[in-house]
Amino acid sequence: MDVKVNGTGYVVDADPDAPAVTVLRDGVGLTGTKLVCGAGVCGACTVQVDGTPMVSCLLPAAALCGREVTTVEGLSGSHPVQRAFAAHDALQCGYCTPGFVVEGAAFVDRWRAEHGDVAPSRAEIARALSGHLCRCGAYASIHTAIAAACTGAHDTEDVRPARVEAMEKITGRARYTTDVRLPGRLEGVIVRSSSPHALIRSVKAAGDTAFVDLLPADRIVRYIGQPIAAVAGRTRAEASAAASQVLVEYEELPPVLDAEAAQRPGAPLVYSTKAERKAAPSSGEGAPSLPTSWNGNVRGPSSLGWRGRTAARRVEEAKQRNDSRLVTATFSTPVQVHTALEPHSCVAHWQPDGSLDLYVSTQAVGAVAESAAEHWGLRPEQVHVVAEHVGGGFGAKTALTAEAIVAGELAKQADAPVRVVLDRSEELTVTGYRPGTRTEVSLLADENGDMAALTMDVHGDGGVAIGSMVAGLGRLVYGTGPRRLRDFDVLTNQSPGAPFRGPGGPPMAWALERSIDEMAVRLGEDPIALRRRWDGNKKRHALYDWAAALPAWTQRPAAGAQTGRFRRGIGVAAANWMYFVDGNTEVELVVDGGVVLARTTVQDMGTGIRSVIHGILRQDLGLPDDRVRVEIGRSGPRHGPTSGGSRTTPSVAPATRDAARLLRQALGVAAGSVADRLGSADGTRVVGKRKRDRRGYVTPFAMDNLSVGRGFSGAVHVTEVEVDTRLGKIRATRVWGGIAAGHIYDDRLARSQCEGSIIQGVGFALYEQRHVDPATGIVLTDNLEDYRIPGIGDTPEIEVHFHHDGWDHVTGGGVGIGELATLGVAASVGNAVRNATGWSPQDLPIRPDVLLEGIRS
């Protein structure tokens, strides 16, 4: 087949019915165009065909013949939209970026031809880009970039990109795991269980394809989609055909498909022996689950309360006397799926010397290298993990997972590189999720309006995984009043949950912060004033003062006082988070050809750590941009952190600063730029370390290199919503996010992180919900049309405020923000809906049907 792409003709051996995107990526080798949803929903595969943007996943390859195709590579980095994306940091992980850029370029050209150099409205930009999704939530900056490009502001001048790899990402040059092309590479496909609960009697592959058995020792599958085996083929189609030939003999066992059924007396057991329970996966963030009891499919309670009996007694007595200062309610949150746009993927390649190269889309190059060495019985230096760019993770990519094990095993058998890339259905069904929750809360105030008691019972639904920690987080907020906090896991035959940005935090904030608002109503007190009074944290006091002074807050409508179809509401919620750090982090600097080269074992999944390292070295060594190079995304001798628990920047940045100090010493330059000394310093090498905090850490020793630092970060979110009381629609129109996390290493990138966190919080509040067929256990929302994440039109205007004080004891002066900035968002949306309508939502997401029913009642 002849195709002309970016002005060059190619002859490609391809099935004319194959999706055009695979021909462009695998046939032509232009991997800037990304394949994400495969259903025309997300726009990541957008190319211009004769100047018109089209999604190439729905376009048959034959439709490209005789047409002029332009991919992101064809825009060559000089289109005003590309410059604008770089200047305004309209990207994070960058996996969606090529699609946005290709569509944006066509829109800007058309807009300027029709309207001249004027900025379109937010609504016009949202309409033009409504066919694109960005899971990182870079929408606010995308708005800014498109508007600026339309005015001609980026026609000529070259700008300094806000992040160092921006040009690679906006030109399609950035290489992700899914883009790795090795000669002779095979494709691997995983055969998955079609039964929610069964004993597998036998598994047989047809033919002599490379084949891996993935069943656990007991040969029992416990959820639909559990890996059973894997096969390889020359192409994905060939591998899929081989997978369909694998014969699996099931002996069906009775399943439990939802949390309610799992708790009924006599329900079938997901785990029936002590050993099985011990081997259960965890949905928690690394820490081992607290030992506790089991009762059938219910595990728990795990309790982290404080004077729990007193709290329970006070609540009971208040119930008996019908105390109006007792707030009791049951709240629920849905399963929320990570769905990073780059799917879980791995390319494995065994070298002749027995070492293993693993290209993995991961948040943990170091930890994955260690696990891989252990799994295959190799020495640490025999495993090389590479994740040059990572298309998002959000907590689902912190370990050696099935796709990497499969790729490694198949590659060994086939004696050839093997790539395994999960499709969107797999991504949305078996790679983890934030467990759903059901929370019973009782919150009591005494006659002075002080907190007298808090009880929270949370049942977490993490499928076959344990480790729900939601109620326990209630230990950390609002002083030391008595509280009984109990977490339970309800086991079902569903795929395992996994840590998701601020594990447990958003469900806890949803229940507690909604209850605090109800208490404010009962006490007749301003909701911010009540929180300030109950909350002893000085950092959050500063945020409450900032929030209380916002004009939107001072002018907010009285709760439920509005009439008419459209009603505006303002809500607030507070949150805090732990400060995590990897105290063993090192950064190595080497002078190489007049350039300072920085290395550590860390990865950048869109958080911007590459740019933070670059910025610190530029500043501390007085160097221009091109005299600093950062090489990360590889396992190596210099230990670095997993990107989880918001620990990356607080671990890496101080080690970078220490390395810069040591390099100055080594070069003998006390002040000013070191540039003049670099030419004669080739080979100079120093290693900076992340120095211990002044007051040490809460945890006496690091577990898996993770320490809990002293102090809690703080957030206060204020959200404005517009409620359409006829159609039941809620729009978050403006969000103010106050963040107290100390020193901010890169203001622009930190704001971008917070904006993305806020957008994910809006998604949790209003749109995201996994649905499972109750009769079969099949996940129904296994595509991006049915699993709804926020688009650009759902993006509120966002203002982020940083409070810097209170972290002098921390080396570097700053802690993490990525989780903190999402925790209270959904609760602030709920409280804003309460303010607008007088109706008190208890279940997330606040769907139109639920809202209409609520306000009618």
Q: Collapsing DSSP states into helix, strand and coil, what is residue 696?
A: coil
Q: Collapsing DSSP states into helix, strand and coil, what is residue 365?
A: helix
- Two tokens at 279? 């081997």
Among the listed ranges 130-138, 451-459, 634-642, 675-683, the one in contact with ligand FES (CB under 6 A) is 130-138
Residue 392 lies near ligand FES (rule: CB under 6 A): yes
**CB 91 → ligand FES: shortest distance, Å?**
5
**CB 142 → ligand FES: shortest distance, Å?**
9
Nearer to ligand FES, 134 or 367 (CB): 134
Q: How many CB atoms lie within 10 A of CB 157?
A: 8
Nearer to ligand FES, 318 or 789 (CB): 789
Nearer to ligand FES, 590 or 602 (CB): 602
Q: How many CB atoms lie within 10 A of CB 683?
A: 7
**CB 342 → ligand FES: shortest distance, Å?**
8
The total number of residues shown for the chain amounts to 857
Please, which of residues 358-377 interact with ligand FES by CB under 6 A? none
**CB 735 → ligand FES: shortest distance, Å?**
19
Nearer to ligand FES, 723 or 759 (CB): 759
Residue 132 lies near ligand FES (rule: CB under 6 A): no
Nearer to ligand FES, 753 or 835 (CB): 753
Number of residues that bind ligand FES (CB under 6 A): 14
Nearer to ligand FES, 119 or 792 (CB): 792
Could you tell me which residues are beta bridge partners of residue 229? 191, 213
Nearer to ligand FES, 95 or 510 (CB): 95
Please, which of residues 37-96 interact with ligand FES by CB under 6 A? 91-96
Site string for ligand FES, 137-166 (x = CB under 6 A): -x----------------------------
Residue 134 lies near ligand FES (rule: CB under 6 A): yes
Nearer to ligand FES, 135 or 384 (CB): 135
**CB 647 → ligand FES: shortest distance, Å?**
20
Distance CA 185, CA 411 (A): 9
First to last CA, the chain: 63
| Among 1, 7, 40, 38, CA closest to 23 | 1
Nearer to ligand FES, 100 or 546 (CB): 100
Q: Give the β-pairing of 451-461 and 483-490.
A: parallel
**CB 811 → ligand FES: shortest distance, Å?**
30
Site string for ligand FES, 303-342 (x = CB under 6 A): --------------------------------------x-
Whether 371 and 401 have beta carbons less than 8 Å apart is answered as no
The per-residue b/e assignment along 59-91, b for 16 or more CB within 10 angstroms, e otherwise, is: bebbebeebebbbbbbbebebbbbbbbbbbbbb
Q: How many CB atoms lie within 10 A of CB 473?
A: 26
Task: Let me know the angle formed at the C-alpha of 768 by 767 and 771, rounded to the nearest 5 degrees.
Answer: 120
Distance CA 667, CA 678 (A): 8
Q: Check residue 334 and report its DSSP letter.
A: -
Q: Collapsing DSSP states into helix, strand and coil, what is residue 354?
A: coil
How far lies 422's CA from each of 478, 557, 596, 714, in Å?
43, 48, 38, 37
Among the listed ranges 133-141, 227-235, 775-783, 816-824, the one in contact with ligand FES (CB under 6 A) is 133-141
| Among 432, 519, 517, CA closest to 824 | 517
**CB 145 → ligand FES: shortest distance, Å?**
12
Nearer to ligand FES, 94 or 188 (CB): 94
Mark out the alpha helices in 672-746 (DSSP H runs): 675-678
**CB 134 → ligand FES: shortest distance, Å?**
3
Nearer to ligand FES, 79 or 163 (CB): 163
Q: Check residue 24 and report its DSSP letter.
A: I
Distance CA 679, CA 614 (A): 19
Whether 73 and 30 have beta carbons less than 8 Å apart is answered as yes
**CB 137 → ligand FES: shortest distance, Å?**
8
- Two tokens at 38? 């495969």
Site string for ligand FES, 555-594 (x = CB under 6 A): ----------------------------------------
Nearer to ligand FES, 24 or 784 (CB): 784
Distance CA 771, CA 790 (A): 17
How far lies 184's CA from each of 12, 212, 348, 408, in Å?
17, 20, 12, 15
**CB 136 → ligand FES: shortest distance, Å?**
3
Q: Which residues bind ligand FES (CB under 6 A)?
A: 91-97, 134-136, 138, 341, 392, 606
